[in-house]
Amino acid sequence: MALEKTSDFDDMMASATKSKKPQVNIVVDEFPVPSTAQPDNGNSASESTQDQGSARLEDPRPRKKA
């Protein structure tokens, strides 16, 4: 499993290096979901995590559409 995942990741990374759009899409899609679910539990963490998650989400979104 680890080897297969590494191969997939390597492929994705190589692809991302050529086209940053796919990498941003995948990373953003997987990051905002857990990040938003976790900050809900803590107030302090909410501010810190939300700040980073919001910035990352807004950055890739416009680029993807463009």
53, with CB counted inside 10 A (0-12, 13-18, 19+), is buried
What average pLDDT does range 4-8 have in this prediction? 64
Residues 6+ apart with CB under 8 A from 14: none
What average pLDDT does range 23-43 have in this prediction? 52
- Phi, psi (deg, nearest 5) at residue 32: -60, -35
What average pLDDT does range 18-36 have in this prediction? 54
pLDDT in tens, 38-64: 555 555 544 554 455 445 555 555 665
Q: Determine the 3-state secondary structure of 37 from DSSP.
A: helix
Predicted pLDDT at 46: 47
Rounded-to-integer distance, Cα 59 and Cα 38, Å: 21
Q: What is the pTM of this model?
A: 0.18
Q: What angle do CA 44, 50, 51 make, to 5 degrees?
A: 100
